[in-house]
Amino acid sequence: MDVLPPQMSAKDEGSFAYFTMKNRAPQILIKVINTLQQHKNEFFEKLGEVGTEAEKKLLSLLSKLLNELQTDEPLLPLTDNWVDTDIWNQYLKYHHSLLNETNKKISWFQSPWLYVECYMYRRIHEALMLSSPISDLDVFKEPKEQNFLESQEAIRILCSYLQGLNKIENLDENQLKDEFFKLLQISLWGNKCDLSLSGGQSSSQTSSPLTVLEDLKPFILVNNMDYLWLLLINRKKMRQETFSVTRVDFVLDNAGFELVTDLVMADFLLASKLATEIHFHGKSIPWYVSDTNKNDINWVIEQLKAANTKCMSECGINWEDYFKKHSWVYHDHMFWTLPYEYCAMSQVAPDLYAELQKSNLILFKGDLNYRKLVGDRKWGFTVPFHQALNGFHPAPLCSIRTVKAEVQVGLAPGQGEQVAVTDPQWMNTGKYGIFQFDGHFDLA
C-alpha cells in the first residue's frame, strides 16, 4: 500500500492548524469559562451549595485545560468513566508508542491537529462528567440557540419557500431538478454558519439564502450535484417498478441555521419522492461548539412549532410528525466524537459502518466530516477523492462542505493554485464550497 501523507499539525508554524491551537481553541475555552461565570447564580438557585461547588470544580478543570493547551503540555489520559474513556486512552497510548520511537512528546502543538482538537472537546466533556450534578450541561447551548434566533428572517424565507413547493408532484423533471439543486446549494452555504470557526462569536445567516445563490456559484470548486441527481432520480424511476426504498443519510454538522437548511432539504427529498426515508446522524455530546445533537433538533422543532409565522409552525409540526412516523430517524454514535479518521470506522465501529451500508446516499456535511473523510492529511490538490478516502466506502457518499481547513483533494490541475493567487486565505474562510461525490460501486 502507498505511504499516506502526514497529518496536519500545529507544529507547522504559520499553518491554519497552528493558528487554531494558538488562538481559536483558547478563545473557545475562555468563552466557555466566561459563560459559566456569568451564570453562577443560576447553579446556586437550582441546586444550592452543591451547584455552586460543582460550578467551581468545572471552572477549575477548564482553567487547567486552558493552561495545558497554552503551555503545550503533554496530553493526559482521561479520568472519567464514560463509554469511550478506554478507547480514547488506548488511542493516546498508541500515539505515545509511535512518537516515542522518534523521541517526540505527545503535546498540543506536536501531535496531529485533528486529534488534539477532538481531544480538547473530549476534555471539556470530561470536566463536565467530573462535575456532578451539572454533568448534562451543554456549555455551547447559548451560542447555538443565538445563531438560530438571529437567523429568524432567513429561516422564515426558507420555510415559506418550502411550503410554496407543496405541489411538488406537479413539477416536471427539469423543474424538480432545479429545485433539488437550489436546496442543495442552500444546504452547502448554510455550512458557513460555523461557531467553531468564529471562535464562538456570532455567525448567523441574516440575508435571504435564496437571492445569493447565483452570486455564489463561482465559488463552488467541485460541483458533483449532477451525480446526486442521477442517483436519486434513477432510483425513483426504478422504485416505481420494484417498490424498493431509497434511504438518504445526513451526517450533520452545525445546529442553528445550517440544521434548518438540512431539514428543509430532507423534507424536499421526501415530498418529491427522491427519497423514502431519511436518517440523521448527530453527536452524542456537545462538540466543536455548534455541532448538532438530539437536544438541538428537538429545540429547533419546538421553536418552529411555537413561531407566529404559519410557514414556520407548519414546518415544525411536519418535522415532528416525520420523526414520530419514522420517515425521519435520528441516530447518534460515540464514533462521531472519537479522534479516528473514517477509514478506521469498519474496525472501530463495525455496527455504525453496517448501518451506513444500508444507505443509498450519505451526505457528509461540513468541514470536520471532510477532514475525517480524507484523514486531515497533506494531500496534493489533484489527488482523487476516492483515493483520499483510503478504503472508506460504505455507500455512495458526498461531502457538502465550505472550505475552512487546509485540506482539499479532487481539484482540477492548477485550480487550487489559481484560487490562491487571487485569495491566499481561500482555505480558511468558508468562502468556497464543494459537492464532492464518491460512488465507486454499483449505484443500483
DSSP code per residue over 403-421: --SS---SPPTTHHHHHHH
pTM, entire model? 0.95
Query: Looking up cell 446526486, which residue turns up?
Result: 228
Over the chain (444 residues), what is each successive 10-residue block's mean pLDDT? Answer: 88 94 96 92 90 95 98 96 96 82 78 96 98 94 92 93 82 93 96 59 64 93 97 89 87 96 97 96 96 97 97 97 98 97 98 98 97 98 98 98 96 97 94 92 44
The 8-class DSSP code of residue 5 comes to P
Residue 125 and residue 157 in one domain: no
CATH number at residue 98: 1.20.930.60
142 burial (CB, 10 Å; 0-12 / 13-18 / 19+) is: middle
Number of separate domains in the chain: 2
Phi-psi region of 401 (alpha: psi -120 to 50; beta: other; left: phi over 0): beta
* CA separation for the pair 90, 75 (Å, rounded): 13
Residue 395 and residue 335 in one domain: yes
* CA separation for the pair 154, 311 (Å, rounded): 12
pLDDT at 157: 93
Residue 171 and residue 59 in one domain: no
- Domain, as residue range, for 393: 141-438
User: Does any domain span residue 5?
Assistant: no
pLDDT at 108: 96
Query: Looking up cell 426515508, which residue turns up?
Result: 277
pLDDT at 281: 98
pLDDT at 207: 67
pLDDT at 39: 87
User: Does any domain span residue 7?
Assistant: no
Residue 301 and residue 278 in one domain: yes
User: Does any domain span residue 3?
Assistant: no
Residue 148 and residue 121 in one domain: no
The 8-class DSSP code of residue 222 comes to E
Residue 121 and residue 170 in one domain: no
CATH number at residue 296: 3.40.50.10880
